[in-house]
Amino acid sequence: MSLHETVRNNEDLGRYELTVDGSTALVTYDMREGRIALTHTQVPGALTGQGVGSELAKGTLDDIRARGLKVLPLCSFIAAYIKRHPEYQDLVG
């Protein structure tokens, strides 16, 4: 099972979350002009270097695609992830 299957959209807090070994990585967002603005990615130190940030980005973008939304990648981590994974370029709008 890949980690992104456990990425969840916490709409009440305006963030996507991925919990691994009791620590939660997150991508914060808000809606702007019909697009979802991804504003910040945070991965706890205990999870760095394990691919958690990439799995969180993938799960987040997959959910956004499934919801039929466009992305405004304000977070530098998400912008870099999209640049490295051209299959997500169509989400930028």
pLDDT-derived band at 5 (thresholds 50, 70, 90) equals low
Per-residue pLDDT at 1 = 36
Count the domains in the chain.
Answer: 1
Is residue 4 over pLDDT 70? no
Per-residue pLDDT at 93 = 82
Domain assignment of residue 37, given as a range: 3-91
Could you report the per-residue pLDDT of 79-90, keeping only the tens digit for each? 999 999 999 999
| Structure tokens given for 57 | 């980005």
Q: Using CB atoms within 10 Å of the CB of residue 54, give its burial: 0 to 12 exposed, 13 to 18 middle, 19+ buried.
A: middle
CATH for 11:
3.40.630.30
Q: What is the CA radius of gyration of the chain?
A: 12
Per-residue pLDDT at 80 = 98
Is residue 46 over pLDDT 50? yes
DSSP 21: T
